[in-house]
């Protein structure tokens, strides 16, 4: 009796996936900032003039935190005069939580935003100087491109 063996299936290699982009590839820059000592009225004016939803707060050229338009609106709702009396540095989101290295990948940034319940993070250099802002909108743009590429 003659027996033949079936050909062995071709070995498949797992498709390689490109590494996700870094936040430095998708962030907004150059940084628009106010100083920690500036009041929220000044911050609101800068946001409205520049059409920004987020504003970096700095002290001595180093990132201190980030303000959102919602932070300013919440202060205004509680006390409209408070915008002139409250300093940006006291209202900004806590510094260490909202900072990322420019080499952080967008997936890690998205996870961090979700954990913190924020919609923007400040990208900082090793010196603490702000380089840009990455937002949920930036990350959705990356997601849309990735989905289209794999469709």
* CA dist., res. 118 & res. 95, Å (int): 13
Single pTM value for the model:
0.80
The DSSP annotation for 111-122 comes to HHHHHHT-SEEE
Strand locations in the chain (E): 33-35, 54-59, 62-68, 99-100, 120-124, 130-135
Choice between 79 and 13, residue whose per-residue pLDDT is larger: 79
- The vertex-132 CA angle with 131 and 136, nearest 5°, equals 150
Count of Cβ atoms closer than 10 Å to residue 122 Cβ: 26
pLDDT surpasses 60 at 16: no
SS3 149: helix
Given a cut of 70, is residue 147 above it in pLDDT? yes
| Helix, coil or strand: residue 50 | helix
User: Taking 50 as the threshold, does the pLDDT of residue 117 lie above it?
Assistant: yes
| pLDDT of 61 over the 70 cut | yes
Whole-number Cα distances in Å, 44 to 35, 63, 86, 88: 13, 18, 12, 10
Q: What mean pLDDT do residues 123-144 have?
A: 92
Structure tokens at 17: 């996936």
pLDDT of residue 11: 52
Please indicate whether residue 148 or residue 87 has the higher confidence score (pLDDT).
87
More confident of the two residues 116 and 146:
116
Q: Which two tokens stand for residue 123?
A: 């990208």
The more confidently predicted of residues 148 and 89 is 89
CB atoms under 10 Å from CB of 23, counted, come to 27
**Who wins on pLDDT, 13 or 126?**
126
Instruction: Choose between 105 and 10: higher pLDDT.
Output: 105
pLDDT score of 92: 85
Supply the pLDDT for residue 103. Answer: 96
Nearest to 113, CA basis, from 136, 130, 143: 136
With H, G, I as helix, E, B as strand and everything else as coil, classify residue 92: coil
């Amino acid at each position: 009796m003659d027996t033949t063996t079936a050909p062995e299936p071709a070995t498949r290699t797992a498709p390689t996936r490109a590494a996700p982009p870094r936040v430095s590839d998708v962030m907004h820059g150059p940084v628009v900032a106010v100083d920690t000592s500036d009041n929220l009225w000044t911050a609101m004016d800068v946001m409205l003039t520049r059409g920004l939803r987020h504003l970096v707060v700095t002290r001595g050229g180093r990132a201190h935190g980030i303000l959102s338009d919602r932070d300013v609106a919440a202060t205004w709702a509680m006390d409209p005069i408070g915008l002139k009396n409250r300093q940006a540095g006291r209202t900004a989101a806590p510094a260490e939580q909202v900072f990322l290295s420019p080499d952080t990948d967008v997936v890690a940034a998205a996870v961090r935003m979700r954990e913190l319940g924020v919609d923007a993070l400040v990208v900082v250099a090793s010196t603490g100087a702000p380089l840009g802002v990455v937002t949920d909108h930036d990350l959705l743009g990356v997601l849309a491109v990735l989905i289209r590429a794999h469709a």
